[in-house]
Amino acid sequence: MARIEIKYKSGDTITINLFGYQLIQDLCKHFSKGNSDYYIYHNKSNTYKHMYNGEYDDFIEDSWETILTHLAKYKDLGVKLLREVPNKFDFSQDTLNYLHRVFTYTMQFCNRDITKNEKEFPFTADYTTPRLSDDDHTNLQELYKIIEPINAAVHRLEKYTIPTKGAQALDSTNIIPSIYYHNTKANNRNTFAVDWYNIKENGYYFRNFDFMKYQQAHLVCLSDTILGKSVLVSYKDDDNPNLSDCTGRMMTDGSFLIYPKRCLHDLYESDGFTSWLDKHNLDINKAPLELAIGHVVQSTIPLGVLDNAPTKLSSVKWIS
């Protein structure tokens, strides 16, 4: 059976049995070369812990300055926004949702995946892709260098916003613990250098919609290596899951998460989550939830107490 074997320097081990569909065989073949290029990006009992206290500290100020600096560079290329961005961070998740869309919609518009008629398009009607190079691919790379820091700063600030109902639930009644194994084989600061496996182009995009079929405990899912947000993050941010940058996993860099027990199912079956989906006229079986690839069958680490788990890896192996 296809599996992932995880070994820690402490001597602890975890074995993940992978599911039997064809995408798994493709992933094993694609990522079996990078057996030791992983580290635990985070290891905690509350993945979405919120830290809002209303205090404007140096970290927040520096992150907001990054956003303003790179927005100015973008505007210097002739880009006009539909909304004014405040000179000082207002702790609003809605502000961050808009700024995140400035990044994702630029990339999608560059790739001709959306038009100006897309819902919540963040630019004025005269928007065109700025030209920094005559070559389309090079132009996209150069544009990415200007606006990706906006995306990164938005993600740094999300824990410090005034919490939405979803964020409150994820910090109290529906806490999501996880262990995130991040594939470091390529420079994740430059998406163009990552060794991607393209899920959509290889015909497996439909796997984004069958998460609820898997009822095993300790599920293992691909990480959010997408151009946009997962449904789970959209719920936390009270964002619109029907938009074109909430589309599920279209590609993967081989990073994955272990979700102990059935925490994701408990969330997706909760009244708060189902009422949020209803607000957006979206059925849970038609939402691109996590892409489950397997489940833990053996672990020397108590998966219920992740704060005490080891953090130094020896190897991570995909085995077909």
Q: What residue ranges do the domains of the chain occupy?
A: 3-49+166-319, 58-162
In a structure prediction context, what are the per-residue pLDDT tens digits for the chain, which is 320 residues long? Answer: 899 999 999 999 999 999 999 999 999 999 987 666 898 987 789 999 999 999 999 999 999 999 999 999 999 999 999 999 999 999 999 999 999 999 999 999 998 989 999 999 999 999 999 999 999 999 999 999 999 999 999 999 999 999 999 999 999 999 999 999 999 876 656 788 888 999 999 999 999 999 999 999 999 999 987 888 999 999 999 999 999 999 899 999 999 999 999 999 999 999 999 999 999 999 998 999 999 999 999 999 999 888 888 999 999 999 99
Residue pair 292/21 in contact by the 8 Å Cβ criterion: no
Buried b (16+ CB within 10 A) or exposed e, 46-75: ebbebeeeeeeeeebeebbebbbebbeebe
Q: Which CATH architecture has domain 3-49+166-319?
A: Beta Barrel (2.40)
Tokens of 162: 């005034």
In angstroms, rounded to a whole number, what is the distance separating the alpha carbons of residues 283 and 275? 10
Beta strand 178-183 pairing with 38-44: antiparallel
Distances (CA, A) of 164 to 61, 107, 278: 22, 27, 17
The predicted model scores a pTM of 0.93
Q: Residue written as tokens 């991570």?
A: 316
In angstroms, rounded to a whole number, what is the distance separating the alpha carbons of residues 260 and 295? 9
